[in-house]
Amino acid sequence: QVQLVESGGGLVQTGDSLRLSCTVSGLPFSSYAMGWFRRAPGKERQFAASISTSGGSTNYADSVRGRFTISRDNAKNTLYLQMNKLQPEDTAVYYCGARKSVIGGYDYWGQGTQVTVSS
């Protein structure tokens, strides 16, 4: 059974930092590209960041580039998202996803973790 479990969300103030984690089980983690998405209140889920299987290639949405850093530890089957200089517009439920192929959509999703940034 494939499981992706996010953790690390919470309530913070503008300018604070948080690190999200996504622990993966039930699949060969190092063979899957990974990504972070977020769903703000009243909006659809949007891409935030992605990382290749080895971690050597990353991609970011314009809205988070320079503030967020995606990384992975294949030995620990864990994906991370370091979020710095958080803004109220970063308030959302954050989801991690896993995909086998770089072409197409994500195959597996976590349940999400809430991040709330107060002004």
* Main-chain dihedrals φ then ψ at residue 66, nearest 5 degrees: 90, -15
71: which residues sit within 8 A by CB, 6+ positions away?
51, 55, 79, 80, 82
Pairing label, strands 10-13, 113-118: parallel
| Of the candidates 23, 65, 25, the residue with the CA atom closest to the CA atom of residue 47 | 65
Q: What is the tens place of the pLDDT at every residue in 6-26? A: 999 999 999 999 999 999 999
- Given pLDDT bands bounded at 50, 70 and 90, which one contains residue 89? very high
Interval 36-62 mean pLDDT: 96
Question: What is the chain's Cα-based Rg?
Answer: 13
Q: What is the tens place of the pLDDT at every residue in 51-81? A: 999 999 999 999 999 999 999 999 999 999 9
CA-CA distance, 110 to 112, in Å (whole number)? 6
